[in-house]
Structure 1
Amino acid sequence: MAVEVRDAHAENRYEARVDGESMPVGIAQYIRTSELIAFVHTEVGPQHAGRGVGSALARTALDEARVAKLRVLATCPFFAGWIARHPEYQDLLYQSRSKVSD
């Protein structure tokens, strides 16, 4: 199964397609600014769950964030968990510059 991932800018999401299918089988929704990309929702169709589609979405999106020099805010539980399991991407995570005081 070949997974192709592309950034669908107009929809603010990455889309994954398999084996040349026209409809996406997975998506990673984001909010993007000039300095930050926040991944807010990831979804993979049940027939493709557990087959690497989510990983392909995460890897492509994070690789592109690195090239664009964007910080990453992983509010989506899938992205947060995926980054936690792949330490080579943890340097992309957004760090708040302000400190909260009591």
Structure 2
Amino acid sequence: MTDFRDVLAQQRFEQGFADATGRIRTVFADYAVQGGTRVILHVEADPALRGGGAAGSFMRSLAEHARAEGLKLAPRCSYAVVWLKRHPEYDDVVA
């Protein structure tokens, strides 16, 4: 796993994870800015990472980042909506 990052110029959160061959692949979330809220529009994992838990690990990093930065998350992507509902320990970052 590589460091979680906020690519401000692209309004995208990204994190790298190693696939089965050791190659680093990306999980990302596109977002829109509404003040201190990040509207999560789309979450996507590289196909080589699917089914391995990378997207869930990414969402945990995203929620931790939001908490540390004092941001709120407004999920619009179905994956982000479901993930946040399943993890009430992050209710404090949900807008």
Query: Is TM > 0.5 for Structure 1 vs Structure 2?
Result: yes
RMSD: 2.0
Which residue in the other structure is 2:31 paired with? 30
1:17-75 Cα offsets, whole Å, 9 max, x none, are: 124856x4221111123321111101112211011221122111111111222222111
Q: Normalization by structure 1: what TM-score?
A: 0.76
The 5-angstrom pairing of residues 41-80 of structure 1 reads 41-80=42-81
How many residue pairs get aligned? The number is 92
Runs of 4+ off more than 2 Å:
2-5, 18-22
Q: What is the CA–CA distance in structure 2 between the aligned matches of 1:57 and 1:9, rounded to whole Å?
A: 17
Q: What is the CA–CA distance in structure 2 between the aligned matches of 1:65 and 1:34, rounded to whole Å?
A: 13
Structure of larger gyration radius: 1
Q: Which has the higher strand share?
A: 2
| Contact 2:37/2:73 (<8 A) preserved | yes
Q: What is the CA–CA distance in structure 2 between the aligned matches of 1:72 and 1:17, rounded to whole Å?
A: 21
Q: What is the CA–CA distance in structure 1 between the aligned matches of 2:93 and 2:16, rounded to whole Å?
A: 25
Compared with structure 1, are the counterparts of its residues 88 and 82 closer, same or farther at alpha carbon in structure 2 (3 Å cutoff)? same
List alignment gaps of at least 5 residues for structure 1. Answer: 95-102
> What percentage of residue pairs aligned between the two structures are identical?
27
What's the offset of the Cα at 1:79? 0.8
Q: Normalization by structure 2: what TM-score?
A: 0.81
